[in-house]
Amino acid sequence: MPELPEVETVCRRLRPFVSGKTITAVDVLDAKIIRGHEPDIWTQQLLGETIQDVERRGKFILFKLTNGYLVSHLRMEGKFYPHGETVSPVKHTHVVFTFSDGSTLHYNDVRKFGTMELKTNEALYVTPPLSLLALEPFDPNVTAEALHERMKRMNVRAIKTALLDQSIFVGLGNIYVDETLFRAGIHPTRPAATLSLEEVEAVRQEAVAVLTEAIERGGSTIRSYTNPDGAAGTFQETLYVYGQTGEPCRNCGRPIEKMKLGGRGTHYCPHCQT
């Protein structure tokens, strides 16, 4: 489900809902979601904590607590649903937070890939997973020069695979990486080390543009993603290649093709991307 634009959309919706609220109960219905602590220990540490703010780092959601952070990753299908009152859990509800004002926050996840973990302030950025991330894509220190140097040292790695690696570039997933490479005119199988500085800059610029536009449109709803209000995003309406197999390329009119690369479905125009 979520790449950076979807996670940002979720954070923007959750921030006004949970900020300032104190946790009075936590129900763990499936312990698989909880990482780092035993579920009862994890629950005990959360009771009485007040959520100060909701932040985002890459595709991670950070609930800033009175003491430390609750770090959550939605992986493929995780969803947070805010409710004004107590609501019965449904089939794939795995964690329920109750606040002192009676409102609740449900975590639902059909595939149970998502995670939640408590971190101290000291450990947050210097331990995995956040310690493994590259800078935020909008950080001015993310330059074509730095990316180019990094890619030149790669042996055979395809540019698409490199861009999906969150330790190299943050925020792209399978939808937005295909869109980025189409817009930049770069073939997904090109070895990353063969890109010129100018091509790397084109990729960087298009990645930022795609992510920015997708945030403005509330993300992409392809299969199951919705925001915490249950609403769909609209960026899927503007996709050029992802899910457009067989459709005419908007530049040259020839059919968009799909191949398998690094285990991921990969959409591209064989004529416009070189």
Partner DNA sequence: AGCACTGTTTACAT
Partner DNA sequence: TATGTAAACAGTGC
Instruction: Kindly state the number of chain residues that form the binding site for DNA, as judged by CB under 7 A.
Output: 43
- Report if residue 89 touches DNA, rule: CB under 7 A: no
Measured from the CB of residue 157, what is the shortest distance to DNA in angstroms? 4
Q: Is 137 in the site for DNA (CB under 7 A)?
A: no
Kindly indicate which of the ranges 12-20, 95-103, 210-218, 263-271 contains the residues binding DNA, using the contact rule CB under 7 A: 263-271
What does 121-152 look like in DSSP terms, one character per residue?
TTTTTTSTTGGG----TT-TT--HHHHHHHHH
What is the gyration radius of the CA atoms in the chain, in angstroms?
Answer: 20
- Which candidate in 3, 6, 8, 77 is catalytic? 3
Cα→Cα distances 188→200, 207, 259, Å: 13, 14, 10
Q: Are 171 and 136 in contact (CB under 8 A)?
A: yes
- How far apart are the C-alpha atoms of 210 and 36, rounded to whole Å? 34
Stretch in the footprint of DNA (CB under 7 A) among 82-90, 100-108, 158-166, 205-213: 158-166
SS3 assignment, position 52? strand
Cis before 255? omega within 30: no
- Single out the catalytic residue among 129, 217, 264, 270: 264
Using the contact rule CB under 7 A, the part of the chain among 13-21, 46-54, 82-90, 259-267 near DNA is: 259-267
Active site residue 59: yes
Which of 85, 90, 155, 246 is the binder for DNA (CB under 7 A)?
A: 155
Is 77 annotated as catalytic? no
Please, which of residues 185-224 interact with DNA by CB under 7 A? 219-224
- Nearest CB to DNA, comparing residues 64 and 150: 150
CB 160 within 8 A of CB 189: yes
Mark residue 214 as left, alpha or beta (left: phi above 0; alpha: psi -120 to 50; beta: remaining): alpha
196: CB partners within 8 A, 6+ apart: none
| Active-site annotation holds for 57 | no
Residues 18-57 close enough to bind DNA by CB under 7 A: 32
Task: Give 216's contacts (C-beta < 8 A, 6+ positions apart).
Answer: none
Determine if 161 is a binding residue for DNA (CB under 7 A): yes
264 is catalytic: yes
150 binds DNA (CB under 7 A): no
Segment contacting DNA by CB under 7 A, of 14-22, 36-44, 125-133, 206-214: 125-133
Residue 230 makes contact with DNA by CB under 7 A: no
Per CB under 7 A, the list member of 29, 110, 124, 197 interacting with DNA is 110
Q: Are 64 and 53 in contact (CB under 8 A)?
A: yes
49-87 core/surface letters (b: 16 or more CB in 10 A; e: else): bbbeebebbbbbbbbbbeebbbbbbbbbbbbbbbeeeee
User: Least distance in Å: CB of 41 to DNA?
Assistant: 20
> Is position 253 an interface residue for DNA (rule: CB under 7 A)?
no
What residues line the site for DNA (CB under 7 A)? 1-3, 6, 32, 58-59, 73, 75-76, 91-92, 110-113, 128-129, 132, 153-158, 161, 164, 166, 173-175, 219-225, 260, 262-265
| Residues with a known catalytic role | 2-3, 59, 264
